[in-house]
Amino acid sequence: MKIRSILGNVMLASTFVAMTGAAQAADSSFKAAMVMPGSITDQSWNQQGYEAIMRAKEVLGIEVAYSEKVAQPDQLEAMSDYGRRGYNVVFGHGGEWVDAAKRAAKRNKDTLFVVTNGFVKDQGVASLTFNFKQFGYALGFLAGKMSEKPKTGYISGQKIQIATDLEDGYKKGFVSVHPDAEFLVTYTNEWDDVAKGKEAALNQLDQDIEVVFSLLDNAQIGVLQAAQEKGAWAFGVWQDVYENWPDTALQSAVMDFRVAIVDFLKDAMEGKVSNEVYQVEIGTDAGTLGTYHPSIPKEVVEETEEVIRKLHSHEIKL
């Protein structure tokens, strides 16, 4: 797919096509909604979705709404309700919203339904996601540089594409430093359970690893707690967690929907989006790393930044 930049240097993978119905020219009646599976105070995935839609209200001056803690059986009705009420764009926040978005689009022809972290395009359905392999590679490289032992761990909730892409990138980045690496991988089948996240991390850390990386929602807290207790390193995801975990957070993959969604909606208001998969690259306003822990040697920081540059320019191909 063609790579093209939009406002804020966000890189989107696809060609922009003007669409009818959902994304007409900007006017004061433009409305967007965000529907989320969890709590808007989870300090992770759902909170970022909430903050993104509220930032769109502030920056773009549009009408917004949101629903939180929407269980999977209620996804279709929640999305369809916003469509019936005339919302131009409705986000289902998470790859698990694909089926609901496709069914809602059939009922509401004038609404564009967007799945964040989805990889689907259909009539009336688009996806907005990140290049997870790139972020995984960058943090895998850093983990390798900060690990004396050729061994690391990865934890996620379910084997969906974003999780397996991040895992694949993380392994490749770590192997670029430790060619004989060993990996511990755990899928917990639970995104929000802090206790399960902590248990999974403790099980890995007890097997003599120094760095653990997780792609979770609220359960990420449990992984960070486990690393803190064991005196190990962990990574944050979605937003920079260093401020709250200064003894534990080696770095964070800041895949910031607060930037990406505002940029997407701006283009939607101008009729520049369609039913495509839009992918944000690393090394952009929306796709960055967070705070480097002060203990990371300067040369390792510089090497990691060079890796990010090569990922962004596709000199490192994944």
Q: 43: pLDDT confidence band, cut at 50, 70 and 90? A: confident
126 shares its domain with 171: no
Q: Round to whole Å and give the CA distance between 275 and 119.
A: 11
Q: 12: pLDDT confidence band, cut at 50, 70 and 90? A: very low
Tell me the per-residue pLDDT of 162-173, one tens digit each, with 9 for 90 and over.
Answer: 999 999 999 999
Answer whether residue 132 shows pLDDT above 90.
yes
52 shares its domain with 157: no
CATH code (residue 147): 3.40.50.2300
What pLDDT is stored for residue 179 in this prediction?
98
93 shares its domain with 236: no
How high does pLDDT run on average in the chain? 91
Number of domains in the chain: 2
Q: Averaged over 176-192, what is the pLDDT?
A: 96
Q: Round to whole Å and give the CA distance between 116 and 73.
A: 18
Within-domain flag for 124: yes
Within-domain flag for 318: no
261 shares its domain with 243: no
Assign residue 14 a region (left: φ > 0; alpha: ψ between -120 and 50; beta: otherwise).
Answer: left
Helix (H, G, I), strand (E, B) or coil at 128: strand
Helices (H), 192-242: 194-205, 220-230
Tell me the per-residue pLDDT of 190-209, one tens digit each, with 9 for 90 and over.
Answer: 998 999 999 999 999 999 99
Tell me the whole-structure pTM to 2 decimals: 0.86
Within-domain flag for 22: yes
What pLDDT is stored for residue 171 in this prediction?
98
**Residue 221 belongs to what domain range?**
132-254+288-312
Q: Averaged over 45-60, what is the pLDDT?
A: 95
What pLDDT is stored for residue 24 in this prediction?
41
Answer whether residue 20 shows pLDDT above 90.
no
Q: 28: pLDDT confidence band, cut at 50, 70 and 90? A: low
Q: Round to whole Å and give the CA distance between 229 and 245.
A: 12
27 shares its domain with 166: no
86 shares its domain with 35: yes
Within-domain flag for 276: yes
Token pair belonging to 6 = 């939009």
% pLDDT > 90, the chain: 86
Question: Which residue reads 């761990």 in tokens?
Answer: 153
- Say if residue 213 is exposed, middle or buried (CB neighbours under 10 Å; 0-12, 13-18, 19+): buried
Tell me the per-residue pLDDT of 61-107, one tens digit each, with 9 for 90 and over.
Answer: 999 999 999 999 999 999 999 999 999 999 999 988 999 999 999 99
237 vs 10 pLDDT, higher one: 237
Within-domain flag for 317: no
Q: Round to whole Å and give the CA distance between 94 and 20.
A: 25
19 shares its domain with 68: yes
Q: Averaged over 11-38, what is the pLDDT?
A: 60
240 shares its domain with 263: no
Within-domain flag for 170: yes
308 shares its domain with 210: yes
The residue among 122, 119, 121 whose CA lies nearest residue 133 is: 119
How many CA atoms does the CB half-sphere of 60 hold within 13 Å? 29
Answer whether residue 210 shows pLDDT above 70.
yes
10 shares its domain with 115: yes
Within-domain flag for 89: yes
% pLDDT > 70, the chain: 91
Within-domain flag for 68: yes
Q: 1: pLDDT confidence band, cut at 50, 70 and 90? A: very low
160 shares its domain with 204: yes
117 shares its domain with 172: no
Answer whether residue 14 shows pLDDT above 80.
no
Q: 8: pLDDT confidence band, cut at 50, 70 and 90? A: very low
Q: 116: pLDDT confidence band, cut at 50, 70 and 90? A: very high
